[in-house]
A and B are shown apart, each in its own frame.
Chain A
Amino acid sequence: MSRLRSDAFQEPFFRYAGRLFLAVLFLACIVPFYYMVMLAIHNNQDVVLHPMGVLLPVGRLALAPFRTVLSGKSAGGQGFVPFIENSLFLAALTVAGTIIIAVPGAYALARYAFPGRRLMSGAFLVVYLFPTILLAIPLFVFFTRAHLLGSLPPVAIVYVAQTLPVAAYMLREYFDSVPVSVEEAAHIDGCSRWQTIRRVTLPLSIPALVSVGVYVFMIAWNEYLFALLFLVANPGHWTVSLGLAELSSDITVSPPVLMAGSVILTLPVILLFFAVERFLRGGLTLGAEKG
Chain B
Amino acid sequence: MAVRTPVRPRISRGRTPGIIRGRTLRATDARWGLAMSMPTLLILLVIVVIPVAWTVLLAFQRVTLLNIRSAGIQGPYSLANVEQVIRDPGFVSGVLVTLAYSVFGTAGSIVIGLAAALALRKRFRGRFLVRGVMLLPYVTPVVAAAYVWQVMLNPTLGLVNQVGVNWLGWKHAVPFLSEQTGHLPLTGNSVSVPTALIMVILFDTWRYFPFAFLFFSARMQALAPELEEAAMVDGASTVARFRYIIYPQLRNVILLLVLLRFIWTFNKFDDVYLLTGGGAGTQVVSIRVYQFLTAYSNVGASSAEALLLAVLLGVFAVLFSLFQRRTQAGP
Give bound CA distance, A279 to B155, whole Å: 42
Give bound CA distance, A131 to B303, whole Å: 12
A134's nearest neighbour on chain B, judged by CB, is: B306
Give bound CA distance, A47 to B13, whole Å: 65
Which of B1-9, B88-96, B110-118, B192-200 is the interface stretch? Answer: B110-118
B241's nearest neighbour on chain A, judged by CB, is: A7
Selected from B39, B289, B307, the residue in CB contact (under 8 A) with A105 is: B39
Contact (Cβ within 8 A) A32 B119: no
Does B106 count as interface, using CB distance less than 8 angstroms? no
Contact (Cβ within 8 A) B30 A123: no
Selected from B143, B214, B266, the residue in CB contact (under 8 A) with A244 is: B143
Give bound CA distance, A285 to B213, whole Å: 9
| B94 CB, min distance to chain A CBs, angstroms | 13
| B18 CB, min distance to chain A CBs, angstroms | 10
Does B255 count as interface, using CB distance less than 8 angstroms? no
Does B313 count as interface, using CB distance less than 8 angstroms? yes
Contact (Cβ within 8 A) B13 A180: yes
| B173 CB, min distance to chain A CBs, angstroms | 11
Selected from A113, A218, A287, the residue in CB contact (under 8 A) with B33 is: A113
List A contacts of B115 (CB < 8 A).
21
Q: Is the interface of B mostly helix, strand, loop or mixed?
A: helix
Contact (Cβ within 8 A) B33 A112: yes
Contact (Cβ within 8 A) A114 B34: yes
Interface centre among A6, A32, A137 (most CB of B within 10 A): A137
Does B65 count as interface, using CB distance less than 8 angstroms? yes
Selected from A33, A225, A287, the residue in CB contact (under 8 A) with B148 is: A33
Give bound CA distance, A100 to B142, whole Å: 27
Q: A3-B236, A133-B267 are in contact. Are A138 and B147 (CB under 8 A)?
A: no
Task: Tell me the chain B residues, 78-103 only, with Cβ under 8 Å from chain A.
Answer: none
Does A168 count as interface, using CB distance less than 8 angstroms? yes
Number of chain A interface residues as a range: 35 or more
Q: How many residues of B contact A (CB 8 A)?
A: 102
Give bound CA distance, A168 to B120, whole Å: 31
Selected from B54, B144, B274, B313, the residue in CB contact (under 8 A) with A138 is: B54
B 25-58 binary contact with A (CB < 8 Å = 1; else 0): 0100111111011011101101111111011001
Does B220 count as interface, using CB distance less than 8 angstroms? no
Q: Is the interface of A mostly helix, strand, loop or mixed?
A: helix
Which of B132-140, B183-191, B321-329 is the interface stretch? Answer: B132-140
Selected from B68, B130, B144, B307, the residue in CB contact (under 8 A) with A26 is: B130
Does B222 count as interface, using CB distance less than 8 angstroms? no
Selected from B33, B54, B136, the residue in CB contact (under 8 A) with A33 is: B136
A 111-128 binary contact with B (CB < 8 Å = 1; else 0): 111111101100100110
List A contacts of B47 (CB < 8 A).
135, 139, 157-158, 160-161
Which of A56-64, A181-189, A202-210 is the interface stretch? Answer: A181-189
Selected from A4, A32, A132, the residue in CB contact (under 8 A) with B235 is: A4
Selected from A32, A193, A241, the residue in CB contact (under 8 A) with B143 is: A241
List B contacts of A120 (CB < 8 A).
37, 40-41
Does A222 count as interface, using CB distance less than 8 angstroms? yes
Does B162 count as interface, using CB distance less than 8 angstroms? yes
14 sampled A-B residue pairs with Cβ under 8 A: A35-B159, A51-B156, A52-B159, A52-B163, A135-B47, A141-B68, A161-B48, A222-B141, A224-B274, A225-B270, A229-B294, A241-B142, A248-B147, A289-B260
Interface residues, chain A, with chain B CB atoms under 8 Å away: 1, 3-4, 6-7, 10-11, 14, 18-19, 21-22, 25-26, 28-33, 35-36, 39, 47-48, 51-52, 55, 100-102, 104-105, 107-109, 111-117, 119-120, 123, 126-127, 129-142, 144-145, 157-158, 160-161, 164, 168, 180, 183-184, 187-188, 192-193, 218, 221-222, 224-225, 229, 240-241, 244-245, 248, 255, 258-259, 262-263, 265-266, 269-270, 273-274, 277, 281, 284-285, 287-289
Q: Shortest 6 CB-CB distances between A and B: which pairs? A: A114-B33, A112-B33, A105-B40, A161-B47, A131-B267, A111-B14
Interface residues, chain B, with chain A CB atoms under 8 Å away: 11, 13-17, 26, 29-34, 36-37, 39-41, 43-44, 46-52, 54-55, 58, 65, 68-69, 112, 115-116, 118-120, 122, 130, 132-145, 147-152, 154, 156-159, 162-163, 166, 206, 208, 211, 214-215, 218, 235-240, 260, 263-264, 266-267, 269-270, 274, 286, 289-290, 293-294, 299, 302-303, 306-307, 309-310, 313
Given contacts A134-B52, A244-B147, A262-B147, 11 further A-B contacts (CB under 8 A): A3-B236, A11-B237, A31-B159, A51-B162, A104-B40, A142-B54, A144-B68, A184-B15, A224-B270, A229-B294, A266-B140
